[in-house]
Structure 1
Amino acid sequence: MGKRVSDGVRRFSLLPGGDYTLIAIRHDDSGTDVHREQVELPSEGNQSLTLAPLWTRFED
C-alpha cells in the first residue's frame, strides 16, 4: 500500500486530514510481527513521519 519511494519509505497521496491508525507488518521464518500507531494528519500541507516500531508478535 502506498507508493514505494525507496527501501522502507512509502508515500500516500491525497489523504484527508484526520486521525489514522498506521499498521506495519513484518514476516520472517519465526512468524509475523505487527506495529500499530495512531497518527494525526493535518488538513493542509505535507506530513512526514519517522516510525520507531514497537513490534508485537501476531499469534495466528
Structure 2
Amino acid sequence: MQVIADLKSYLLDSKAYFGIAEVLNPLREIDKLIKRKLRCYIWQQWGRSGYRKLRRLGVDRWTA
C-alpha cells in the first residue's frame, strides 16, 4: 500500500527527530491518531460492505 509506505518514511524521520528529546507522551498521542486514521482509510476502502466482511471474518455482531 502506497499510503503505508509514505507514512512509514515520515514516521521514521519523526521518531529520529523526537527520539533525541525523549518526549514520549506526544508520540503516543500521534500514534493513536495515526491508527485511527488508518482504520478510517481501511473502512473507506471497504465501502458499505465493511460490516459483512467483518462478520465473515468472525467478528461478533456487536463489535462489527
TM-score, normalised with respect to structure 1: 0.22
Richer in helix (by share): 2
Tell which structure's C-alpha radius of gyration is larger: 2
Richer in strand (by share): 1
| Greater relative CO, 1 or 2 (CA 8 Å, sep 6+) | 1
TM-score, normalised with respect to structure 2: 0.21
